Amino acid sequence: MFGIPEIDGRELAKILAEAPDSIHLVDVRTPQEMSQGIIPGADTVPLHLVPLKAEDWKQETRPMVIYCRTGARSAQACAFLAARDGTRQYINLRGGILDWVQQGVGAVVPPASSAIA
């Protein structure tokens, strides 16, 4: 979507199982959506706060995998971040958390209440 690299749920599950520290996983859904559960290990940053966090993320070198409910908002976040920083890889989770759940490839856990930005 939008020329942004994408990954599917099975690929993400494999990375999380084999080398979870090799990526930076970010959930950009709303706090209400996040309260239904997040992919384990994800940072929770609602889409409207991504521009504010972009500066904090500049020192990060790992590829960032971003997801939302269906993959549309996360693709927007990837495009925004890639336009600001062309040196880092931003990857959209195709189909979002809905596809993750439907494929049954991994768990969804409640976020820590303080984790939702």
pLDDT of residue 1: 47
Q: Is residue 115 part of a domain?
A: no
The CA-based diameter of the chain, rounded to the nearest angstrom, is 34
Per the structure, the complete domain to which residue 38 belongs is given by: 6-103
68 carries an active-site annotation = yes
Q: Is residue 114 part of a domain?
A: no
Q: Is residue 111 part of a domain?
A: no
Q: Is residue 113 part of a domain?
A: no
Q: Tell me the pLDDT tens digit for each residue of 100-115.
A: 999 888 888 888 764 5
Could you tell me if 39 and 29 are in contact, meaning their C-beta atoms sit under 8 angstroms apart? Answer: no
Q: Is residue 117 part of a domain?
A: no
Catalytic residue among 16, 28, 68, 93: 68
Q: How many residues does the chain have?
A: 117
User: What is the count of structural domains for the chain?
Assistant: 1
Tokens of 3: 């020329």
Which band of pLDDT confidence, cut at 50, 70 and 90, is reported for residue 48? very high
Q: Tell me the pLDDT tens digit for each residue of 57-103.
A: 988 899 999 999 999 999 999 999 999 988 889 999 999 999 999 98
Q: Is residue 18 part of a domain?
A: yes
* Domain containing residue 70: CATH number: 3.40.250.10
Cα-Cα-Cα-Cα dihedral sign, residues 116, 94, 56, 82: negative
Q: Which residues contact 37 (CB under 8 A, 6 or more apart)?
A: 97, 108, 109, 110, 111
Q: Which of helix, strand or coil describes residue 65?
A: strand
